[in-house]
Amino acid sequence: MAYADAGWRVPELLDRLVAADDLYFDAVSEVRLDSWSRGRVALLGDAASCVSLFGDGSSLAMAGASTLAAALAADPSHAFAAYESTHRKLVAPKQRRVGRAAGLLVPKTRLGLATRDLAARSVSAFRQRAA
């Protein structure tokens, strides 16, 4: 078994993993589109501007809905372009921050994983001593 010598609570966790009948596993991914609309269809909320791995998803969805509603009220024929132009200005900086933070939370290399895990253990140990 690949993790047989991992130590800590790994054997217990692996036993629970094998016994689980409701295991859920998912990937962390993001799709960026050049345009949030085509024809008479527009994406809104997480479908357009997801950053909810680190929060802000609901707030951005509500802001986007409000922006789209205002754009539709002002000029229905150009509403999608106006909505996207305005809302991307709010979303873009948040997505850039999420990209950097995701690299820390879900590293792509063994060194990154080891660094993240060491940092998490250090923070946990510090908090225990402080309590």
Q: Is 34 within the bounds of a domain?
A: yes
Q: What is the pTM of this model?
A: 0.62
Q: Predicted confidence band at 2 (pLDDT cuts at 50, 70, 90)?
A: confident
Mind listing the pLDDT tens digit for each residue in 19-52? 998 887 776 677 788 999 999 999 998 888 877 6
Q: Is 91 within the bounds of a domain?
A: yes
Ramachandran region, residue 32 (left: φ > 0; alpha: ψ -120 to 50; beta: rest): beta
Mind listing the pLDDT tens digit for each residue in 86-121? 999 999 888 887 777 777 778 888 898 888 889 888
Into how many domains does the chain fold?
1
Q: Is 42 within the bounds of a domain?
A: yes
How deeply is 127 buried, as exposed, middle or buried, from its count of CB atoms within 10 A (0-12, 13-18, 19+)?
A: exposed
Task: For the chain, list the strands marked E by DSSP.
Answer: 37-38, 41-42
Please report the pLDDT score of residue 51 as a whole number: 74
Q: Is 5 within the bounds of a domain?
A: no
Structure tokens at 103: 């690299």
Residue 130 has pLDDT above 90, yes or no: no
- List the domain range (segments joined by +) for residue 92: 10-130
